[in-house]
Structures are given as structure tokens and as C-alpha cells.
Amino acid sequence: MKLNVIVTLCALFSLTRQAPPRDECVCELINSQKAFPHDKLSTVEDNATKCTDNITPQKTLELESLLLGLERRLPQLLEDVSMLEKEDDGDLYAVLSLQVVENELMEIKQLIDRLNGSTLGHQRLTTDTNKQLEDLRAEMMELEAYDTMQVVLRQQDNRRLRRDLEQCKNGLHPTTQPTRPPHGNCPHGEFMNITGPKVYTAGEYPGSYKYGAWGRDPKPEAGKENWYWRVMLTSGNKFSNYVRLYSSLSSLIVGVSTPGNVMIHSSNPTTNTIQGPNVVLYKGALYYNCYNKDAVCRFNLTSKTVTTLQLPKDTRFNSKGNFCHLDECYPYTDLDLATDESGVWVIYTTKQDFGNLVLSKVEEGVPPTLGQTWRTSVYKQGVTNTFMACGVLYATRYVSKDVEEIFYSFDTATGAERFNLGIFINKMPPNIYSLNYSPVDQMLHAYCDAYMVSYKMVFSD
Ligand SMILES: *[C@@H]1O[C@H](CO)[C@@H](O)[C@H](O)[C@H]1NC(C)=O
Ligand SMILES: *[C@@H]1O[C@H](CO)[C@@H](O)[C@H](O)[C@H]1NC(C)=O
Ligand SMILES: *[C@@H]1O[C@H](CO)[C@@H](O)[C@H](O)[C@H]1NC(C)=O
Ligand SMILES: *[C@@H]1O[C@H](CO)[C@@H](O)[C@H](O)[C@H]1NC(C)=O
């Protein structure tokens, strides 16, 4: 609530900064009234900015993540309780359900404890901020009284009118919207922007396992719809031999791994274990770069078997065709696996392609095979990561430690390439080691220096 007020205040201030429209008409104004105290407004503005700076995204994000976890957990509890009520015939099933509900309650209690902990930590901050906010509000009221020329009020009105007009236009002429390029079978339209982070958590092992990946199976098995997975490169920041599963987002955040680990092999590394961070889970199987091979491995978590898919001759592997930024490359990022609405993809580079990105569809047969392949003209070393959404390949580059840009796209439906997307990711830690789109909820999951971060992708429809 308090945050909202501050944001609204700041929005108000930013309006006053806008450059006046370049009208051709000139008016002479003789103002007999007291001049508007711009100096004072600008001090208030400065103070408001300082005030907002105090409440950094980092401070609120943990709280938001925990609340989000709780929000997702409660409907599940409700569902389980109603199932328990239905089964109230006193037999074994009811006892089992009761245990499930008890587990749920336990996890919710843990969430609430964490929430309570961070709330206490935020209380001092909140009290300080509240005081500052009160001061600012008083100043603003005073300034409003000065606003005899109704500058601020008019701007507010204009803004409201413009919004209404926009809504009205859209409502009246739904067919005259600007024409957009076709998006194949994409149900959400064109990818426009990214917001967030929505989730920002250190998870179960704060500070450990810098490299890895996490996300959600887009085509989960029945009963595992809310599960999340995490793969950490546990050996030398290069290799791993298991997937860790969590029964919900909140379990991942609080670090309670109920299903636990699913092991690929007891040794790490060895034949067909995981090499590099860019892995994905799809239909209960993990796709990744096989240890020491130019091949994709598919590990079936149910049968615990691995099948492999050999990539074309001269595919770069063993840290020879990595994603890079400035003068640093991310080790063992030769193969990037991706999922979208249509399934699994692999992004890599080969000698013949002079280090440019190559994209292939992975066909899910037994064994998996390489489907259609597209060659791009973007140089892999100028890219920090890639992901797929709706059959379009997106690539990112490092702008600064706080900002990563989604700058490139390749549409597999049309073959069209763009190098000027200009969609910016607001980073938490500076290095993104894996990016992975979840078609289930249009979230983009990033694994950054041991943190798990997710963003909401905004589409045009
Ligand atoms: C802005 O903040 C400074 C220091 O915190 C304070 O002295 C000043 O009165 C504030 N000014 C306004 C206009 O709120
Ligand atoms: C929150 O934490 C405080 C201090 O640790 C404790 O006294 C209080 O009972 C807790 N509240 C809840 C709802 O757990
Ligand atoms: C994209 O989202 C960010 C953050 O919400 C916003 O600041 C920016 O203006 C948006 N960009 C466009 C082109 O809509
Ligand atoms: C995994 O193995 C199970 C049991 O053999 C099988 O039913 C399932 O289709 C397999 N999944 C994949 C993705 O191959």
C-alpha cells in the first residue's frame, strides 16, 4: 500500500519533467498570481526518489516471492482438503490424504515463518519510510494549494482522458488495430516486453552452485503440474549427475525438496551425465549436453534411462563454442537446450557455420532425432544466452551488470531475423547462465550466480 503511494507520487513527478509539446503558436502570459514554487517541487521530487531508492527491488522481492508461493500453495491445500472430505469413509485413502494435507500445512507453516522473519526485518525500514512518506504527503498538499494554474491537475486529467480515449478506440474499432506480422501458431501474439523479476530466490543452498538451471516441465506427467526442477553444476561448476525436484514453487523457495533427487549416475562426471548449465525438463525427461560428447542426452526420470542424439559433424563442444560477453565466456555452454509451445530445441554452433548460431528441432522419438535445422547470422560469441518462445529463437547480450538485452530474434516460420529488439531484462546478479521459457505460464526462468530469478514475458494479445 505504502509502496503504491510512493510509486503514484513518483509518476506524478515524472509528468512534470516531460518536455512541452512543440506547438507553433506562441502565447504571452501575464501572471498576476504567485509563482509556482518549482524549486520546492524539485526538492520533494528528490526526496521522493531517495525514498523509493530505500525500498529497492531486492528488499521487496523476497517478500513478493514468498507471498507468491503462499498464493499458489493455498488453492492446492483447498483442493486436497476437499478431496479428503469426499473420501471421508474412514479407510486407508482418507488416512493417506490426511498425510498429504499435513505435509501441505507443514510447508505452509514454513512459508509463513519465513514471511514473518522477513516482515520483522522490513519493519524498521517501513517505519522510516512511513515517516518520510508522511512528510512528503504534507509537502505535496501544500504544493497542490499552490497549483493555482492547475498544471499538475490538468496533466492528471489529460492522462486520464488519453487513457479513456485509448480504451474507447480499442473498444469501438477492434478490427482497426495496427497490423502485425503473423505469429504462426503462437496463441499469445508477438513477444513485446518483459517485466519483473517476479521471483528472486537463493533457494535451498544460498550462495552455493553458481551454475545451473531451473524451471517447470511444460508437459508434466499427471499429478506433477506444479512441480519445479533444479539442476546445479555440482562438480567444478561444469558437471552434474542429478535433477532435484520440488513439489511447488514455494517448496523451491523455502528449500523443501520433497521428491528429492533423481540420479542419472552415481559418478560425476561419467558417460551420459550432465555437462554445462543449459538443460531443460520436458515430458518427464531431462535434455542436456552429454558429458564429453557433441550430443544431446535425454534422461527419462521414470525409467531412469538415457538415450542420446548425435549432433552434426564438427559441432563445437567441450567448451569450444560458448556464449560470451565482453572478454569472458561462460564455460561449457556449447549446447543450449530450450522448450516452447512446440517442444524441445537445441541451439549450438559448428565449424562450417563459422561460430554462428544454429538451431535444430529435437524430435521426440525413441531415440530422439534431429528435426529441421535453421542457420542464423548471429555470432555465438556475441550472445550470452538464448531461449525459444512460439517457434521464435531469442538471443540476449550483456549490456551492464544490471541490464541484459534481448536483442535478436529468428522466426522459424518465416526465416526473418531481427537484430534490434531492444527488450531489456532487469538483472539481479550480473551473470545469466541459463534462460528457459515456460509455455505454461509465459515465465522466463533465469539461473544467475546461484540465484533463481523469473520474469513475466508480455505478449501482444
Ligand atoms: C527533503 O529531505 C531533507 C533531508 O532529508 C529535509 O531536510 C527537507 O526538509 C526535505 N524537503 C522537503 C521539501 O521535503
Ligand atoms: C513472528 O515472529 C515473532 C518473533 O520471532 C514471534 O514472536 C511471533 O509469534 C511470530 N508470529 C507468527 C505469526 O508466527
Ligand atoms: C517494458 O517494460 C519495462 C518495465 O516494466 C518498462 O519500463 C518499459 O517502458 C517497457 N517497454 C516498452 C517498449 O513497453
Ligand atoms: C519414460 O519412460 C516411461 C516408462 O518406460 C515411458 O512410459 C515414457 O513414455 C518415457 N518418457 C519419455 C519422454 O520418453
What residue's CA is closest to ligand 3, atom 8?
Answer: 193
Closest to 214 (Cα-Cα) out of 201, 196, 198, 197: 201
Same-domain pairing of 224 and 368: yes
Q: What is the Å distance from ligand 2's center to 116 Cα?
A: 6
Whether 321 is in a domain gets the answer: yes
Domain termination residue (choose one: 143, 170, 201): 143
Whether 44 is in a domain gets the answer: no
Domain termination residue (choose one: 108, 143, 178): 143
Whether 262 is in a domain gets the answer: yes
pLDDT per residue as tens digits for the range 116-145 = 776 666 666 666 666 766 776 676 666 666
pLDDT per residue as tens digits for the range 345-382 = 999 999 999 889 999 999 998 889 999 999 999 999 99
d(CA 52, CA 60): 11
Same-domain pairing of 310 and 419: yes
Same-domain pairing of 128 and 211: no
Same-domain pairing of 249 and 337: yes
Residues in contact with ligand 3 by the CB-under-6-Å rule are: 193, 195
pLDDT per residue as tens digits for the range 396-438 = 999 998 999 999 999 999 999 999 999 999 998 999 999 999 9
Same-domain pairing of 131 and 222: no
Same-domain pairing of 271 and 388: yes
Per-residue pLDDT at 4: 39
CATH number, domain at 377?
Answer: 2.115.10
Whether 169 is in a domain gets the answer: no
Residues in contact with ligand 1 by the CB-under-6-Å rule are: 40, 43-44, 47, 135, 139
Confidence band, pLDDT 50/70/90 cuts, at residue 197: confident
Per-residue pLDDT at 431: 93
Whether 408 is in a domain gets the answer: yes
Per-residue pLDDT at 181: 41
Rounded to a whole number, what is the distance in angstroms from the first to the last CA of the chain? 29
Whether 32 is in a domain gets the answer: no
Domain total of the chain: 2
Same-domain pairing of 353 and 412: yes
Same-domain pairing of 290 and 426: yes
Q: Which atom of ligand 4 is nearest to the CA of 283?
A: 13
Per-residue pLDDT at 19: 45
- Lowest-confidence segment of 71-80, 266-275, 430-439 by average pLDDT: 71-80
Mutate to test the pocket of ligand 4, among 243, 302, 362 (most ligand atoms within 8 A of CB): 302
Domain termination residue (choose one: 80, 110, 143): 143
Same-domain pairing of 125 and 268: no
Whether 313 is in a domain gets the answer: yes
Q: What is the Å distance from ligand 2's center to 112 Cα?
A: 10
Residue 177 pLDDT > 80, yes or no? no
Residue 447 pLDDT > 90, yes or no? yes
Whether 315 is in a domain gets the answer: yes
Same-domain pairing of 99 and 210: no
Same-domain pairing of 202 and 132: no
Mean pLDDT of the chain: 79
Same-domain pairing of 129 and 213: no
Which residues constitute the domain of residue 248? 191-459
Confidence band, pLDDT 50/70/90 cuts, at residue 308: very high
